[in-house]
A and B are shown apart, each in its own frame.
Chain A
Amino acid sequence: MTAIACRDVVVAFDGVEVLRGVDLWVPPGGWVTVVGPNGAGKSTLLRAVGGIVDATGSIDLGGRPAAGMTRREMARLVALVPQEPVIPRGMRVVDYVLLGRTAHLGFFEAEGAADLDVAVKALADLDAGPLADRTVDTLSGGERQRIVIARALAQESPVLLLDEPTTALDVGHQQEVLDLVDRLRAERNLTVLATMHDLTLAGQYADWLVMLDAGEVVVAGSADEVLTEEAVARHYGARVRVVPDEAGPIVVPVRRSGSDGI
């Protein structure tokens, strides 16, 4: 059984196809990161899997077709960490994390002590317990990212979708967040589907990479197979050097003009 199975997924906005027949499999407990240039359709693929945008083709979650699931059922299977989460002014962190319990509550039901325990545990797992009483709009970028992930954990969904989880963070916080996600994946047996811009980090943390370009999968496989100088040159239009390393290939940009061929 696969945690996520996409077959021939097509997403079109105003008649323009943003995803053009994407196939993607993620085994339970696996980590797949989608890379690709801006506009390749990475976020759209994640949003299609999360059921936020309409897609044709088939998407199975935990062996069940996502089509026809209610929002509640979807949210119990996949939790999304958006690229630019809305930070509601004046909301306390604990209330924000409790929003993750929405899919577990009835329409007229309020959260109870068990839900609060789940939220507190999620905050503790992200070492964010001391933030619980702060308001979300007073947090730093790194703290903010952790409480958004805590909210996703509070959903207790087996699949975590991370849309550019490190874009707004400095390099130290990028590693911190990715290490946390990796630890939680092991502890909670989560399946992770992420999108990332930083190719080096993408290769170091994911089990498999999928490179999208213009809405199609162009390369998929291990980091060594996907992150080649040719692939990055062709699909990103970038000149890079790929340095092998035991943690995964390191992708270094090389200045295009004015350099006399380093």
Chain B
Amino acid sequence: MTTTDQTPEAGRLKPAELRPWWVASGILAVVVAGIAGLVLGPAQIGTWDVLVELVDRLPFIDTESGLGERQQAIIWEIRLPRVVLGLLVGAMLATAGGAYQGVFRNPLADPYLLGVAAGAGFGATVAIVSGLGDGIGMVDPIPMMAFAGALVAVVLTYLVGATGGRLDPVTSLVLAGVAVASFFTAIQTFVQQRHSETIRQVYFFVLGQLRTAGWDEVTLLAPYTGVCLVVILAVRRHMDTLAVGDEEAGALGLDVRRVRLVTVVAASLGTAAAVSVSGLIGFVGIIVPHTIRLLFGSSYRVILPLTVLFGGAFLVAADLVARLALEPAEMPIGVVTAFLGAPFFVLILRTTRRSR
């Protein structure tokens, strides 16, 4: 085989990578969902007025949207922080789900696999029943306790999983997650039953919501989400290598333990931060990466960056449904994502079976 034979091949072939229009469609989804999130709501504000108002805040541009102070406040202090929070939480949960699916080679892995949700639920319940939830000083104790509970649960899962003995590391970690999650759920349920007067408040946390009191939650969450997403995206190539199994990936020169540890730490930390402000929003971590996989192929180099964009857009859209479907009452967003997620699950199972 001579070099001339290979040149055309080499010129045409490319490794799996993002195509510009895929990224553009993800950005478009974020923009459309974001604008819808700013425009729709009980107070009527026109799309054009919202756009002009946004442009007005750009540096060196001075226009007049004609919006009153109250309408401006609705956009900047109520709707925009909620949209941004939706983008952050959606991106984080979806990407953490995709990352878990990659490192555990399990299509049904979700961000709560290692006990994050049960730990956060327990932490939030303790904060609520102990009366801390009514607020002391500047810090809202519910997210703090939820975050702490989530981290304790994941660390416990990792410690238990490391003693897995004869089992392979993936299986023992997943089983440890099941055990720790059940344990925390049991204590959480017990504590909740002993304090029936706060059940409603706990219930709302468990179902998830994106209610914000302004930009506090966003500034709390953004650094975690940013760092964790960057780390996960930086190691996404290794998830394609892991697709051939731990043993072959190791023989190819990959430090499998390191990849799994880095990914699990980033995904768990990001998830813990997200659920501490949003509550336990389910299914996002499964719906989004699987849709991307069906549409754009199986390489994690492609799946994960698109999951960041579409995950954020999806949660903002789900939040709109949660806000508007039963207006003026608000549905828990976890109900919306699960309502869409359950049928989607069935679809995934069906298509997976067909293509085998």
Which A residues form the contact surface with B (CB < 8 A)?
50-52, 70-72, 74-76, 79-80, 82, 85-86, 88-92, 94-95, 98-100, 102-105, 107-108, 110-111, 116-117, 120-121, 123-125, 127, 129, 132-133, 151, 155
Indicate if the CB atoms of B6 and A121 lie closer than 8 Å: yes
Among B234, B240, B258, the residue within 8 A (CB) of A91 is B240
State the CA gap A75–B248 with chains docked (Å).
11
**Which B residues lie within 8 Å of A133 (CB)?**
13
Listed by A's residue number, 24 A-B pairs whose Cβ atoms lie within 8 Å are A52-B251, A70-B255, A71-B253, A71-B254, A74-B253, A75-B252, A89-B298, A89-B355, A95-B240, A99-B240, A99-B241, A99-B244, A102-B241, A102-B249, A105-B237, A107-B255, A108-B234, A120-B6, A120-B9, A120-B13, A121-B6, A124-B6, A125-B1, A132-B9
Closest chain B residue to A87, Cβ basis: B244
Indicate if the CB atoms of A111 and B15 lie closer than 8 Å: yes
Add 19 more A-B contacts to A82-B251, A94-B13, A98-B15 (CB < 8 A): A75-B253, A85-B248, A86-B243, A88-B244, A91-B240, A95-B16, A102-B253, A103-B253, A107-B255, A107-B258, A116-B10, A116-B13, A123-B9, A124-B1, A124-B5, A129-B5, A132-B13, A133-B13, A151-B252
Instruction: Write the nearest CB–CB distance from B349 to chain A, whole angstroms.
Output: 15
Given A91-B299, A95-B299: A155 in contact with B252 (beta carbons within 8 A): yes
Which B residues form the contact surface with A (CB < 8 A)?
1, 5-6, 9-10, 13-16, 234-235, 237, 240-241, 243-245, 247-255, 258, 297-299, 301, 355
Indicate if the CB atoms of B298 and A91 lie closer than 8 Å: yes
Instruction: Write the nearest CB–CB distance from A186 to chain B, whole angstroms.
Output: 14
A-B contact count (CB 8 A): 102
Indicate if the CB atoms of A102 and B1 lie closer than 8 Å: no
Given A85-B244, A116-B10: A99 in contact with B235 (beta carbons within 8 A): no
**Which A residues lie within 8 Å of B247 (CB)?**
52, 82
Closest chain A residue to B297, Cβ basis: A90
Closest chain A residue to B236, Cβ basis: A110
Indicate if the CB atoms of A102 and B244 lie closer than 8 Å: no
**Which A residues lie within 8 Å of B5 (CB)?**
124, 129
Indicate if the CB atoms of B15 and A95 lie closer than 8 Å: yes
Instruction: Write the nearest CB–CB distance from B300 to chain A, whole angstroms.
Output: 11
Closest A-B pairs by Cβ, 6 of them? A103-B253, A75-B253, A90-B298, A88-B243, A102-B252, A86-B245
Among B240, B243, B250, the residue within 8 A (CB) of A52 is B250
Given A117-B10, A125-B1: A80 in contact with B251 (beta carbons within 8 A): yes
Closest chain B residue to A53, Cβ basis: B247
Instruction: Write the nearest CB–CB distance from A45 to chain B, whole angstroms.
Output: 15
Indicate if the CB atoms of A107 and B13 lie closer than 8 Å: no
State the CA gap A127–B5 with chains docked (Å).
11
**Which A residues lie within 8 Å of B6 (CB)?**
117, 120-121, 124, 129
**Which B residues lie within 8 Å of A50 (CB)?**
251
Instruction: Write the nearest CB–CB distance from A124 to chain B, whole angstroms.
Output: 5
**Which B residues lie within 8 Å of A82 (CB)?**
247-248, 251
State the CA gap A116–B10 with chains docked (Å).
7
Instruction: Write the nearest CB–CB distance from B247 to chain A, whole angstroms.
Output: 6
Which of A79, A85, A90 counts the most chain B CB atoms within 10 A? A90
Indicate if the CB atoms of B252 and A100 lie closer than 8 Å: yes
**Which A residues lie within 8 Å of B1 (CB)?**
124-125, 127
Closest chain A residue to B298, Cβ basis: A90
Closest chain A residue to B250, Cβ basis: A71
Indicate if the CB atoms of A71 and B10 lie closer than 8 Å: no
**Which A residues lie within 8 Å of B258 (CB)?**
107
State the CA gap A155–B9 with chains docked (Å).
20
Closest chain B residue to A124, Cβ basis: B1
State the CA gap A104–B255 with chains docked (Å).
13
Which of A70, A71, A105, A124 counts the most chain B CB atoms within 10 A? A71
Indicate if the CB atoms of B244 and A86 lie closer than 8 Å: yes
State the CA gap A123–B258 with chains docked (Å).
30
Instruction: Write the nearest CB–CB distance from B228 to chain A, whole angstroms.
Output: 15
State the CA gap A72–B13 with chains docked (Å).
26
State the CA gap A108–B237 with chains docked (Å).
8
State the CA gap A133–B9 with chains docked (Å).
10
Closest chain B residue to A89, Cβ basis: B298
Closest chain B residue to A72, Cβ basis: B253
Given A89-B298, A95-B16, A124-B1: A129 in contact with B9 (beta carbons within 8 A): yes
Indicate if the CB atoms of B235 and A108 lie closer than 8 Å: yes
Instruction: Write the nearest CB–CB distance from B5 to chain A, whole angstroms.
Output: 7
**Which A residues lie within 8 Å of B234 (CB)?**
108
State the CA gap A125–B235 with chains docked (Å).
31
State the CA gap A107–B238 with chains docked (Å).
8
Indicate if the CB atoms of A99 and B252 lie closer than 8 Å: yes
State the CA gap A211–B168 with chains docked (Å).
31
State the CA gap A71–B247 with chains docked (Å).
11
State the CA gap A111–B17 with chains docked (Å).
11
**Which A residues lie within 8 Å of B241 (CB)?**
99, 102
Among A74, A110, A120, A151, the residue within 8 A (CB) of B237 is A110
Indicate if the CB atoms of B248 and A124 lie closer than 8 Å: no
**Which A residues lie within 8 Å of B248 (CB)?**
80, 82, 85-86
**Which A residues lie within 8 Å of B298 (CB)?**
88-91
State the CA gap A88–B16 with chains docked (Å).
14
